[in-house]
Every structure is written in structure tokens, then in C-alpha cells.
Structure 1
Amino acid sequence: MRPRPASDLFGFLQSSHSCLLQSYRFVPRSLFSHNQIYSNNVIPHFSTVSSRTTTPTRMSSTRAVVASVYSVSVSTPQNLSSSPEDVANKSHHLENGKGFTNPWPSWRDLDPIKALKTIARHRVGPDSAGIWGPSTTPPTVPVVTPQFLPARSTVSTEFRATWLGHACFYVEFPGGFRVLFDPVFSERCSPVQFIGPKRYTKMPCDIADIPVVDAVVISHNHYDHLDHNTVIKLKKHHPDAWYFVPLGNKAWFACSGVEKCIELDWWEERDIVLTPSNSQISAGSSPSTDPNELSSKVQAEPTMEGPKANGIVARIGCLPCQHTSNRGLTDRGATLWASWSIESGGKKVYFGGDTGYRAVPPDLPKSVDDYGEEFRDLPVCPAFKQIGELRGPFDVGLIPIGAYVPRGVMSPMHANPYDAVRIFVDTKCNKALGIHWGTFVLTDEPVLEPPRLLKEALGKEGIEKEGVFDVLNIGETREY
């Protein structure tokens, strides 16, 4: 391993591409980041530190039990899911372990100077939303108070997804497993909280309002997807949560005091099992604080597959997407980016995170349909069809639909609603919900345009405009 410089850019805000839309300024790196050491090595075949956790259990009329003590283990599955034949080639790894790349012709790397010129021309052009970007004057996206299940039951059949703004979703699986995707609970997606892209819609809840978090899944390290303040709050309120991150990001979490972190490469998987202890906590009693009873244990062998008696089992898979990473000027592509699959309680979710689908020509006017006949041969990212064929179908996809203008600059790394519908079809999702919009101004499209274009794109593909691939109000829950 070799040290990488800490994030030293104040104006880069959330990523190299979207920060081109902001004013730049440098400050000492010690103000907002950790020194980091990155490693591109895959973790061992089993990596389990298991602490017994006390989590709520839903009350029944015939059972006076209010909580169970769970032992949590994470391991490599004995029976792996299907993967591409060339997975061992690791074509997305740069030589000598120097980082990662998108290995497809659908990708076009960012030229900062050309991108700045394109953005400047767009800001003063006829298609511009104005020199200061799109208006965020209310009303924009409605925000409602989330209605989480107050407790969980291993026999529950409820399957719920709640949008908490931008790319953050909280998913409650049948059987009790609870996952939080790309949480950002700060006012700004920035290295610091006094400047940078600010929320134009309020947070629907606090981290402390979320009843249970078993796993936190991170797509990549841009500031609008990975927020240090949020991670610190999660560690305080949900200390038993495990974090699943793409390769190279584990060191950042270690510097933030998070030890329960698993980093994975594309197509790798882990099983997480929450097994209740022999003792349960009855109504009116208190959880044990005996350090011997609640001490951590290390599992020396991979977990046996299959459901445990009254336990909770989930499989988490790291999958490809077309994006990039950085938290400063000098670490672009140093850590991996990913989409994810989560399966538990007989239901499977695909989380797209942040991704592009195809690179359209630069300087393309907004009035030109880049899905027109003249662009039909543009390469598309093949990873999504592989995901659908090898790991699908999925019950629900959480797919990005925003941050795509100027299209010539953003298209390689940010899907627009037309791309999102293609990703939905390629990954074989039965239903989908839109993410990556409605919270921060990162690009130049009007803030309410993504859901409108999503309906147009669905209609163009012959898919019902409502009830298949929808958007939610922030804080709203969809049950399946």
C-alpha cells in the first residue's frame, strides 16, 4: 500500500465533473479530511467480526418479547452467484494497482478545460437556465415525514422502500433486514459546511429517527454520496451497522472510526447473517450489559448458507457501473465505484448509485434528441445487460435520473431519464424508483425536469407511465 494525498480541494465540492459548475478555491487539507491510505487488494474469503446487538422485534399478542440479541456475521458465500467469464481479467483495474477505469467504449474521460468551456457556453446560451443555474424557488419536490416500521419481525412479509433525498434510500426487507443506501444527512454535499451545493429541499428526518440499520451501502466517494458528518452520526446512533463499500474505500472509514467495513470488487458478494442468541429480553426487563455476554467474537469459517432459526439472512453483491471517483484534485479514480444488489427475505433490490450509460457527442444542443436515428450506433455500457442476465431479475431498481445537463459533459457519468429507462430494462428490474435528483443543484437541468422526462422516456419505450418506474416525494414510502 502507498499513501494517497488527502482531499485538498475546497471547491471540488462533490466530484470533479459537477464541481466544474462551482467557484474553486483551495484551503488546507487539514480542515476537512483525513490522511488516507488506499489499497486495491481484495479482502480475504471471510471477514467477520461479530458483535451481539440488541434490536427491536415487533410485538405479537401471543409473545411478550420486545427485543432479541443478535450475533452478526459476514462471510463469502459458499455458492457464488453467476459472474462474467472474463471476471478474473479485472479490466477495470489500472496497471500496478494505481486505480480504476471504465473499460468500455461507452465511456469518455473528462477533459477539464473542454468541459469548462462547454459549461460556460451553455450558461450563456439559449438553452441555459441562467448564469446561476436552475431556479430552486419553491414549490419544488414535496417533503413528507417518513413512516418507518417501528420495529421488525423475522416473520414479517412487508417490503418497503423510502426515499430520503438524492441517492439515499432506506429499504425494509421481508424478514427484518434493513439497509441504508448512500446516506447524506448534511445541509451541503461538500468537504465543508459553509459553502458548496446546498439542499433546496429539507431533510425528511434525522438519522436518530431511523429505527434499525443493519447495513450501509456506499456507491462511491463523491461528496453527494459519502458524507463524513453523516457517517459519524450513523456510528453514534447505529453502532452495529456494517458498511459495504467499493475497493479502496475501507481506509477512509477506518480513519473515521468505522471498523465494521467490507470493501468489495465488482461481481464479489458477501452474506450477512443476524442470528438471535439463546437468550431473549422479555417485556419489562433490560438488555444485558455483561461484557462477557456481549463481547465480540471472530468467526473462523464461512457462514453456512440458508436461513437460520428466527434469524435474518441477506446477500450483498458489488456490481459494475459507469462513473468515477475522487474527493480532491489528485485522487481521481483511486477508489472504485459500484452499483449493488441486495437480496433478503425472498426479495431482491438493485441500487444503481451514480452512473452513466452512453457518451453522447460534445456540444450537442439540448434540442437534439440524442436517441435519434443518427445516434443509434453510439456504444452503451454493456455491464447493465450482464447484471440483468447474471444477477437479475430484481424486484425493485433504484436508478439515477438526474444531474445530466450539459449532456455532452455529463452523459458518460450521469444517466438522464432516457438512459435510466434503458438501464431499468437491461438490468431486468420489475419495478423501479428514481434517485439522484430533487435535493442538490449539481447540474443545469430544471429541478423538476427529471420526473417529466422519465414519463416521456417510458412512453417512448412502450412502458406504462405510472406504476412501473416512478418517483416519490422525499420521505415517501412505496410498498411492494
Structure 2
Amino acid sequence: MASTQTSFVTTVTKPVPSKARPDDADSKPHHATPGKVFKNPWPSFVYRPGRSIGLELVYRSWTGKAKKMVTEGHGIPVQKATFLPSRHIKSTDAGKDAASSDGRLLSQDTIRATWLGHACFYVEFPSGLRVLFDPVFEDRCSPVSWFGPRRFTEVPTTIADIPFVDACFISHAHYDHLSQATVLRLKEKHPNCHFFVGLGIKKFFTGLGIDKCTELDWWEDAELRVRSEDTADKAAAAEIAAQVSCLPAQHASNRGAFDENHSLWASWAVCSGGKSVWFAGDTGYRAISADIPEEARSKYTPELHRRFPCCPAFKQIGELKGPFDLGLLPIGAYEPRLLFSSLHSNPYDSVNIFVDTRCRRALAMHWGTWDLATEEAVMEPPEMLKEALRSKKLPETGVFDTCGIGESVEV
């Protein structure tokens, strides 16, 4: 794989306000305290401190109210992930195709996305750009290696097996989305990888000696450029360009007990080579109240849809930044709804987000990897996703799909 020996250098322009942004973007309604503490500025969100959610989960467990997630025999397919060995694309003119080491090429109008578990996707753009979203390759998502949620499905690859990582996008600072050990291995294997993070997270990276990090606010854009240092390698693109947008999500962020919402959570849009991906990160859609019967909290009837406001940011994203060729959307870690509806989307929420953001296709994530003390059955999210698609009169397959861990999907 001669092409993998080529050195690629990344550069990023200074972040600028997006040309397409909502009227209230300049007033920054999500800044509770400028530059220090952030908030979800919509009626679709009901604030509950993270500590109170944790205590409620402990209480439910002690009193026997909690439904334990059974992970044994889960049935989630896991395979070894494979990646394209070069940045070559398949030209429409077959005579101009460049041969990669094993003959695998990406068409010039195709995105290839590989699910690496939970919220981690590796995306190969037809331009040659290669990016990671929310990589966590550890056995536990926790500040310590001996305690905390344990992975119940295997990691389908290692960082050493990934041939190129030009950029890495972090949605927020929670441990199941940001891992210090993973970041350090990425720095070692891919020293030119550039990290994109929300406000307040850059100091985490500078503390690890990483200076290739750009911190953005919602509705800010930056341009990423990747160029080969080996001018003799005609196989490598002379320069790859990508437009990066930091966009809203409805969630929270912290690393410890006393820094709740001191850093910003975000979704990300990346466009390169004429193809676009929207990564939702971790997000809720609306808050459900206690007066709704428990059996009705997960599914939305027209009456519930009218009663509980949805987050308006997703329609703004779709109208101002969409449509997107591919959306990467969360569907898991949502029960009990009274605790998690503001923070985590269930499949019905996710299908609404899919429609609002004007994604042409979508792949599901944020399920099937960690037991995060939520109470839905392991295989409930993909089953409920089909129900939710039917409720919107959308096809059950070929539009918003699940895939196996380690599986690659071309869109």
C-alpha cells in the first residue's frame, strides 16, 4: 500500500460566522454565561441536573423499578472493519481509473461510512477526505479503566488499522464520545489529524499537547485543506478541501461533577467533493412530561406531537445547510423517557430529526455498544426505528437504516 506512506498535511482557516444562519444566531441565545456555561435555549428542553438523573437511576435500581438491559446473546452483528487503502476514486471514464493495491475504489459520487460502534463512524469521501466522528476505542467509557459502562460488543478495528485520518469531530465531552486514551493513540498514529470541537473543549486537547485543534461555536464555519507532501505521488490528490460547520444539538456536556455545561455540545456538517454528511452527535428532540401514561411516552401520536414542542434547530439546519447526502443519527439510550427525553432521541424522535434536517439517507448510531444504565432492550431501537419509519410513511429499508458494527455502507 504505497499510497499510505505519503504524508498528508492539514490546514484550517480561521472560523467565521456561517453565511447561512438563523436571525438570532448573533445574539447567541445558547450562551448562559458568555464563554463559560451553555444552555439549550428552546422550550423543547427541560433541564435536569446530571446528578439528579444519576441519583434517580440508582433509586430505580435499588427499588427494583429499573428494567435491566440484558446484553448476553444480543444478536448485533459485528465484523472486522475494512477501509479503502488509497484515496483514489473511480472515474466515470474507466480508462482513467487508478488502481489501488487491492482494486477497491470509491466512486466519485459515493460516500462510504463504516460504523465502529456507539457514535463512532469513519467516513470516506469521494474527494479523498477521511474523517472520524466521536471515536472511543476503549473497553469502558469512564474516567477510570476499572469502573463504568463496559462495552458489550467488540471494537471492530484498531486505530493502527485505519490508513488515513485527516480530521476528527467531537460532539461533546461525555466519556462515551470523548476518550483521552483514544485521542492520544490518534495523535501518535495520525499526527496530522485535526480535531474539531465545540467551545470550551480545546483546553482538553492542549493539555494533551495537541495543537491541531479548532474550537467552534454553533453556526460557525471553517475550511479544512489536506495536501500531500509527496509531489512525486501522482496518486494522491494535490489538495483536498472540505467545508466544516458547527451546528446545534439538544444535549449537555461535562467531564466531572463540577463542570456541567462548561463546554458546548454540537452537531457537525462536513462537505467535500460535492458530498455532504451531517453528524447529529448526541441529541434530544423534545421533553415528555409525567402526566403522559408510560406506555405512550415513546411513540408519538398527532396529539402528542402538537402538545410537546420539538427542537426548532433541526429544521433550521435542514433549511439553511441541507439537504445532506448522509445523516448519522442516534436512536438509543432513551429509557426511561422522563429522564432522557430532553437529552436522547428515541427512534421516533430520530425519524423526525431525519425529516427536519432534510437528509437524503441516514444510518443509525448510539446503540448496541455500551450499557449506559438506560432501560430499553438491546434490540428495541432498530425494531422501533422501523415502526417510526412506517408512522411517517417512509420505507423501512433503504432510507434510514441500521447496520452491523464494522459494516461499511456506500451512499
TM-score by length of 1: 0.77
Give the aligned residue type for 1:258: I
Displacement of 1:97: 3.4
In structure 2, the residue matched to 1:152 is 87
In the other structure, the counterpart of 2:128 is 176
Residue 326 of structure 1, aligned match among 240, 254, 258: 254
* Distance 1:430-1:328 versus aligned 2 partners, 3 A rule: same
- 1:219 and 1:99 map into 2 onto residues whose CA distance is 16
Would the aligned equivalents of 2:74 and 2:378 in 1 still touch at CA under 8 Å?
no
Deviation at 1:88, TM superposition (A): 0.7
Corresponding position of 1:361: 289
Contact 1:118 1:363 in 2 (8 A): no
Who is 1:84 aligned against? 22
1:246 corresponds in structure 2 to: 198
What residue is the counterpart of 1:101 in the other structure?
39
In the other structure, the counterpart of 2:99 is none
Does the 8 A contact of 1:144 with 1:473 survive in 2? yes
- The answer for unaligned runs of 5 or more in structure 2 is 92-105
- Unmatched tracts of structure 1, length 5 or more: 1-54, 58-65, 284-307
Q: 1:159 to 1:69 in 2, by over 3 A?
A: same
How far is the alpha carbon of 1:236 from its aligned partner?
0.9
**Structure 1 residue 115 displacement after superposition:** 3.9
1:163 aligned partner, one-letter code:
W
- Distance (whole Å) between structure 2 residues aligned to residue 405 and residue 232 of structure 1: 33
The question of 1:237 aligning with 2:172 is answered: no
- 1:342 maps to which of 255, 263, 270: 270
CA shift, 1:372, in A, is 2.7
Q: 1:56 to 1:327 in 2, by over 3 A?
A: farther
Q: Return the offset for 1:328.
A: 0.8
CA distance in 1, matches of 2:140, 2:8: 35
Counterpart residue number, 1:11 = none
Tell me the TM-score normalized by structure 2.
0.89
What percentage of aligned pairs have identical amino acids?
49
Question: Residue by residue, what CA displacement relative to the aligned partner does 1:294-330 show, whole Å, maximum 9, x if unpaired?
Answer: xxxxxxxxxxxxxx97321111110000000011110
Summarize deviations over 1:192-227 as a string: whole Å, max 9, x none. Answer: 111110000010011101110000000000000000
1:423 partnered with 2:353: yes
**Correspondent of 1:446 among 377, 387, 394:** 377
Larger radius of gyration: 1
Contact 2:87/2:237 (8 A) holds in 1: no
Shift of 1:275: 2.8
1:166 aligns with: 118
Aligned pairs for 1:24-63 within 5 A: 57=3
In 2, distance between residues paired with 1:244 and 1:216?
Answer: 6
CA contact under 8 A between 1:352 and 1:398: conserved in structure 2?
yes
1:425 deviation in Å? Answer: 0.3
In structure 2, the residue matched to 1:477 is: 408
Cα deviation, 1:25-56, whole Å, max 9, x if unaligned, reads: xxxxxxxxxxxxxxxxxxxxxxxxxxxxxx96
| Partner Cα distance (1:388, 1:260) in 2 | 29
Q: Higher mean Cα deviation, 365-374 or 248-257?
A: 365-374
* Cα drift, residue 81 of structure 1: 3.9
Q: Cα RMSD between the aligned structures? A: 2.4
Is 1:388 the counterpart of 2:318? The answer is yes
Gap change, CA 1:122 and 1:363, over 3 Å in 2: farther
Aligned counterparts of 2:351 and 2:234: Cα–Cα separation in 1: 49
Shift of 1:446: 0.7
Indicate if the aligned counterparts of 1:68 and 1:280 stay in contact, CA closer than 8 A: no
Q: Which residue of 2 aligns with 1:135?
A: 70
What residue number does 1:405 align with? Answer: 335
Q: How many residues align?
A: 391
